[in-house]
Amino acid sequence: MRPRIRENQTVIYEIRCELDDFEGLYHLANLYTAVCELDKEQRAVAFLRCTERTRATDPSTVLMKVRHLVSGASLTLAFEMSDRSDVFNMEALDACDVYFKRSYHASDLLPLTARLREKILPGGLTLPAELHQAPGAFCPC
């Protein structure tokens, strides 16, 4: 599917994210809101799609694919919002280019390989939020 192109748009990024279910929205609502604001401001074209959970995944982690529309360069970003700094979503860590971890403590990265440690960045402190509607209700994506 091609990105929606709007008249006089300044979009240079495409962001794709599949939501497994609504469990993760509790910790990730701020992230989804930011993505939708980028879409609204025409700084990115966002595609958020709700799908049923197909495998055991951590609901506090989401993967986003971000593509630069001019160069075609793309990155897979992981956002992990769990409370423990010593626990990682290894499936996401292996699959991503950059892994943002909310509870970050550098010494807890030491058991990981250098290749995996290099991917992990502090994700910043965010607080859980409750959404009383599906993402489509607050995001035109």
The per-residue pLDDT for 26 is 65
C-alpha span between 131 and 116 (Å, rounded): 33
Residue 84: CB atoms within 10 A of its CB come to 13
How many angstroms separate the CA atoms of 12 and 46, rounded? 11
Cα–Cα distance for residue pair 68/74, rounded to 1 Å: 6
Domain boundaries, the chain: 13-125
Contacts of 87 (CB under 8 A, 6+ apart): none
Query: Tens place of pLDDT for every residue, the chain, 141 residues?
Result: 444 545 555 778 899 887 665 555 666 777 777 888 888 888 888 887 766 554 446 777 888 999 998 899 999 999 988 889 999 999 999 999 999 998 999 999 999 999 999 999 998 766 555 554 554 544 444
Which residues on adjacent β-strands are paired with residue 98? 77
Question: H-helix or E-strand containing 13?
Answer: strand 13-19
Question: What is the pLDDT, as a whole number, of residue 1?
Answer: 45
Q: What pLDDT is stored for residue 56 in this prediction?
A: 45
Task: Provide the pLDDT for residue 51.
Answer: 63
- CA distance linking residue 34 with residue 29, whole number of Å: 9
The sign of the dihedral angle between the CA atoms of 12, 18, 23, 24 is: negative
**pLDDT at residue 96, as a whole number:** 95
Q: What is the C-alpha to C-alpha distance for residues 124 and 101, in angstroms, rounded to an integer?
A: 8
